[in-house]
Amino acid sequence: MSQDSDNNHKSATLGMSNRLTNYGDADFSLFLRKAFIKGMGYTDDALSRPVIGIANTYSGYNACHGNVPGLVESVKRGVMLAGGLPVEFPTITLHESFAHPTSMYLRNLMALDTEEMIRAQPMDAVVLIGGCDKTVPAQLMAAASADIPTVQLVTGPMLSGSHRGTRVGACTDCRRYWAAYRGQDIDDAEISEVNDKLVPTVGTCSVMGTASTMACLAETMGMMLPNSATAPAVYADRQRIAEQSGAEAVRLAKEGITPSQILTPEAFENALRVLLSLGGSTNALIHLTAIAGRLGIDIDLEAFDQMSAQTPVLVDLKPSGEGYMEDLHRAGGLPTLLRELGPLLHLDAPTINGRTLGENIEAAVHLIDQPVVRPRSRPIYAQGGIAVLRGNLAPSGAIIKQSAASASLMQHRGRAVVFHSLEDLAQRIDDPELDVNPDDVLVLANIGPKGAPGMPEAGYIPIPKKLAAQGVKDMVRISDGRMSGTAAGTIVLHVSPEAAEGGPLGLVRDGDIITLDVAANRLALEVDEQTLESRRQQHSSAAADTGALLGYRRLFMEQILQADQGCDFAVCRPELHCRVPRRSAQTPDQR
């Protein structure tokens, strides 16, 4: 870098004098700050540089972030090569299997922590290192609210493993083997053996679960460098991406480009389109709604469903297809899919590297003959991976991952077998006396945002053991909860409003008839309104008095919004001023 440009850049950023602690004397505040940081050995020259914060989310509880220390070093190298001063700082980190009662309960806490640490400390730009399911959404929510120049960097997927010659990976195969164990197809020794093989390296789950989906959407929206969603956690590529992310953050700091300039309505529309074509996680719809909501942008479920009818699933990864994330990386990464979707995307959307999405696609390696991303003429699934359902059972909507459901159950009418809570489910699901048949509809209420609380990923209701032993692999299952992005089955999720908010799901009784018709976007409870009203009168809502609760639990219960509003806290969401996608979402032929 020339001396001139270096000096120009120094004047464009505030560095250490940014966001001073209030002592009533700004010069003294800076004097004191520099005195303390010099205690760690910094020179005045170092402290005069643009400051790039690096959110370090390493934790001994988080294997998905096990490579973060190395990534932090690579980001620092990139920042320093570009003339900036890197300063790492810790934030909350969340791992799916190490967050009680569920990581979703803590996503908004991580978003608040990240946002406030960005706001409180001197930094001209920030690199947010996330990966596991809730971390990237939390960081992007924070970035949208804090609105300083931001680069998202993901830890990258783990590699796939091998069990007795079969390729396996977390966590679609975790569920597949567990279902086989419950069905007594494999024994204690084999389930223990497979437990050693499912997670062979650090990194995020190796299928198109929530973490992989959110990584792909962050890249689509331009918040990550091109081709950075898919590089495995343990590849050298991942470290190079980290170095480049650090350098990019310095450039963004100097140019003053913030997330609100990148996360436009067009960026969200692109993300929704890519979510559908990935066969991606249903959770991503909640997260996108929360991130967009921070910017006053509303995700329109009806229009999303129109978009779904026009957008095929093209990526052949589990759980909708066959492969693993490392296969998509070898197939050219996300740009291979974006190129195929080109006519359906807003290619002029800006990205953090200063180029448009279309320019990034042009610049990416173009592999002609690859087996992972199908052409639009030969899709995995003709429509988008997610369909929206409505009806008297879900007045504010519900969703189903149709690409991972059983074709034979997409239109189904059956008798309800109702579980009123997670505890009720745990006590009765495997009872040999449970009155349940393969054609019944399993209903689980009170696992919504307030009900559980935290909307756990318990929507993947297990097949009752006595039916699993008979070979039943799938049934229609309905809940107001979520499902892991790695799971599959004919599973209706996010029923809104939830039972604990007085939603009709809490009024279903054993033996009621429920109709699911995915093609008609219909989810209906065949019970007359008079009967429902009398049940409503008796229904004691779980969303009761919050006055006895303290701390975060009270904040959560008082502020949490429903799934169709992204489960964000009401106080974090400004007035909505814009809806995406546009109602008249166009087909490829129309463009």
- Which stretches of the chain bind ligand FES, using CB under 6 A? 64, 95-96, 132-133, 170-171, 204-205, 209, 211
SS3 per residue for 165-219: CEEECCCHHHHHHHHHHHCCCCCHHHHHHHHCCCCCCCCECCCCCHHHHHHHHHH
Phi first, then psi, for residue 59 (nearest 5°) are -160, 145
Specify whether the CB–CB gap between 174 and 486 falls below 8 A.
yes
Q: HEC profile for 496-531?
A: CCCHHHCCHHHHCCCCCEEEEECCCCEEEECCCHHH
In the complex with ligand FES, the residue whose CB is nearer, 78 or 321, is 321
Burial 489-512 (b: 16+ CB within 10 A, else e): bbbbbbbbbbbbbebbbbbbeeeb
Region label for 510, one of left (φ > 0), alpha (ψ between -120 and 50) or beta (otherwise): beta
| Cα atoms in the 13 Å half-sphere on the side-chain side of 241 | 24
Nearest approach, Cβ of residue 406 and ligand FES (Å) = 24
Q: In the bound complex, what is the minimum distance in angstroms from residue 96's beta carbon to ligand FES?
A: 4
Map residue 552 onto helix, strand or coil.
helix
CB 57 to ligand FES: min, Å: 11
- Shortest Å distance, C-beta 325 to ligand FES: 10
State in angstroms the smallest separation of the CB of 375 from ligand FES.
29
Least distance (Å) from ligand FES to the CB of residue 67? 13
Q: Using omega within 30 degrees of 0 as the cis cutoff, is the peptide bond preceding 226 cis?
A: no
Distance CA 200, CA 191 (A): 16
Residue with smaller CB distance to ligand FES, 133 or 298: 133
Considering the complex, what minimum distance in angstroms separates the CB of residue 171 from ligand FES?
Answer: 6
Nearer to ligand FES by Cβ, of 133 and 248: the residue is: 133
| Minimum distance of ligand FES from residue 97's CB (angstroms) | 6
CB nearer to ligand FES: pick between 76 and 329: 329
Q: Which two tokens stand for residue 247?
A: 């350098």
CB of 274 to ligand FES, least distance (A): 18
Quick one: 174 or 334, whose CB is closer to ligand FES?
174
Nearer to ligand FES, 241 or 499 (CB): 241
Which of residues 171 and 221 has its CB atom nearest to ligand FES in the complex? Answer: 171
Which residue's structure tokens are 């810790």? 90
Smallest separation (angstroms) from ligand FES to the CB of 200: 14
User: What is the smallest separation between the CB atom of 360 and ligand FES, expressed in angstroms?
Assistant: 25
Token pair for 16: 């250490």
Minimum Å gap between C-beta 103 and ligand FES is 9
Is residue 178 within 8 A of residue 248, CB to CB? The reply is no
Whether the Cβ atoms of residue 126 and residue 116 lie closer than 8 Å to each other: no
Q: Which is nearer to ligand FES, 72 or 154 (CB)?
A: 154
- Say if residue 2 is exposed, middle or buried (CB neighbours under 10 Å; 0-12, 13-18, 19+): exposed
Cα separation, 160 vs 167, whole angstroms: 7
> Of 92 and 295, which has the nearer Cβ to ligand FES?
92
If the CB atoms of residues 211 and 567 are measured against ligand FES, the closer one turns out to be 211
Q: Which is nearer to ligand FES, 205 or 216 (CB)?
A: 205
What number of residues does the chain have? 591
Using CA atoms, how far apart are residues 116 and 55, in angstroms rounded to an integer? 12
Closer to ligand FES by Cβ: residue 158 or 345: 158
If residue 580 lies in a helix (H) or strand (E), which one and from where to where? strand 578-580
Q: Which residue do the tokens 């913030």 mark?
A: 258
